[in-house]
Structure 1
Amino acid sequence: MSEAKTARSSGETLRARKQRQTREAIHRAALRRALEYGIDNVTVAEVSAEANVSPRTFFNYFPTKEDAILGLRDVQDSVAEDAAMESLMDREPTGDLLADVTNLVRSVFSATLSGNTRDQIREAVIRYPQLRRRQLERFSLVEQRLGRIVARHLESDPRFSDGSLDIEDAARMIVAICAGAIRFAIHKSADHHAASLEETEHHFDQTVELLRKVIQKLQ
C-alpha cells in the first residue's frame, strides 16, 4: 500500500503524517544523543543532521533541545490538545470531582510518557534534573487550559452553579490542588527511580489517596 493510501486509511493526511514522522525523527535523535553522549554534549546541529533536517526545521518543531529530548509538542497547538482534554474529562466520570480532575491531570501528564520512547524519556529525566524541570514548566502551561475546561464542567454542577463562588476561580483552585498532587507524585517517582510506567502510575494512585486523606483531616 502506498504512503498516501496508508495515510488516508488511518484518517491522517499525508502532510500530517510527514510532520509527525519529522517530529518523531528529531525527538528520537535528540533523545538518543542525550542518553549516549550526555545532555550537555547535544547540539541542535548534530540532532538535525541525524534526523536529516535543517536546524531551521528543528526549530519549527521544538523551541529547545530539551523539548526535543522530551518530545514535547508545541504548547501553541491548542485546538487538538483542548479537544483531547475535553474527551478525557467526559470519559466515564466517577462522580468524585477530585478523582475525575486528578485523573484528567494525570492523563495529560502521562501522555508525555507514552509511545515507544517512554522508557528512554524516563531514564533521561532521572539522569538530568533539568528535564524534569522542563516537564513541570510545560505542565504549568497546560494547567491554564485545564482550568478553563474544568470551569465549563462546573457550570453544570449544582454544587458550584448556585452563584456562591466564582466558577473560574474555583476551577483554577481545583486544578492547582490536583496538579500539585501530581507534581508531588512526579518528584516521588523520580526520587524512587521508578523503572516502569506501572510504578509511576502506582505513585500517582498513592498520591491521590494521600490527597484525599489530607483534605479529610483538614475538614
Structure 2
Amino acid sequence: MSVAEEELGLRERKRLATRRAIQLAAVELASQRGFDRVTIDEISHVANVSPRTFFNYFPSKESAIIGELPELPDEARIERFVNAGPEPILDGISELLIAAIDTGELAGDVDASSDTARTVQELHKLRRALLKDNPELFAQRMASMHQFEDALSTIVQRRLAEDDPSLLSDPEVLHQRARLVTYVSFAGMRHAWSCWADHGGMEPLADRLRSSFAELQALGAHVR
C-alpha cells in the first residue's frame, strides 16, 4: 500500500470515528434528556467537535439521531445489475444493497476493535429505543426508507423487463412483480441487520447480508 493510500485510509477512519462520535452523543443526550431538549451545540460539545464540524456531517440533529439510510449506488453498478441475467436476481440485489449502505460506518472496519464494535452496538441500541419513543423520528426514518424502497423497485422493474421483455406488454404485472421482489429483498436486509445487531456488530455487515440472502435463496428452493 502506498503512502497516499495509507493516508486516505487513515482519513476515512477518522471521518467514520467523528461521525460515530456525533451520532453517539446525539442519541445519548436525547435518551437522557429527551429529543426536544437537546441542542446541536450540546451534541457538538459532547462529541468534542465544533458546530461547524457537526454540520459538515449532518444537516440537523434529527438526521444525526436517525442515522444514515441506504442510498442507491452509481448508475454503472445499477446497469451491471440490470444486465446481469441469467444470474439469480436476489444475488444481484444483495450486492446492490451492500453497495447502498455504508458498511464501514454501520459495522466498523473489518479489523475494527472490540471498543468500536461496542460503540456501534450501543449506538444502535439507543437509536432503536429513541425511534420507538419518538413517533416523529420514526416517521421520518420510515419515509426515507419508503423512498429507497420505491427507487429500488424501479431498478428491479428494469431488470425484470430485461430478463423477460414480454413483461413490458403488461405494466401492471411488471410493477407488482417488482414490488414483490423488492419486499422479499427488504425482508432479507432486515434479517441481516437484526442478526448483525444481535451479535454486537462484530462481523462486517456485508458478510451478514450475503449470508441472509443465501438463506433466503435456500428457503425459496425448498418452498414448492
* TM-align CA RMSD: 4.1
Verify: 1:207 aligned to 2:212, yes or no: yes
Structure with greater helix percent: 2
Q: In 2 relative to 1, CA 44–181 (structure 1 residues): closer, same or farther, beyond 3 Å?
A: same
Q: Kindly provide the amino acid, as one letter, of the partner of residue 208 in structure 1.
A: F
Verify: 1:62 aligned to 2:59, yes or no: yes
User: Do 2:161 and 2:167's aligned partners in 1 also have CA atoms closer than 8 Å?
Assistant: yes
TM-score (norm 2): 0.61
Q: In 2 relative to 1, CA 142–63 (structure 1 residues): closer, same or farther, beyond 3 Å?
A: farther
Q: Aligned ranges for residues 48-127 of structure 1 at < 5 Å?
A: 50-53=49-52, 61-65=58-62, 67-69=63-65, 71-72=67-68, 81=71, 84-91=73-80, 93=84, 95-111=87-103, 113=106, 120-127=119-126
Q: Kindly provide the amino acid, as one letter, of the partner of residue 179 in structure 1.
A: F
User: Do 1:102 and 1:179's aligned partners in 2 also have CA atoms closer than 8 Å?
Assistant: no
| In structure 2, C-alpha distance between the alignment counterparts of 1:215 and 1:25, rounded to whole Å | 39
Question: What are the ranges of 5 or more consecutive residues in structure 2 without an aligned counterpart?
Answer: 1-14, 133-137
Q: How many residue pairs align between the two structures?
A: 185
Q: In 2 relative to 1, CA 154–89 (structure 1 residues): closer, same or farther, beyond 3 Å?
A: same
Q: In 2 relative to 1, CA 194–27 (structure 1 residues): closer, same or farther, beyond 3 Å?
A: closer
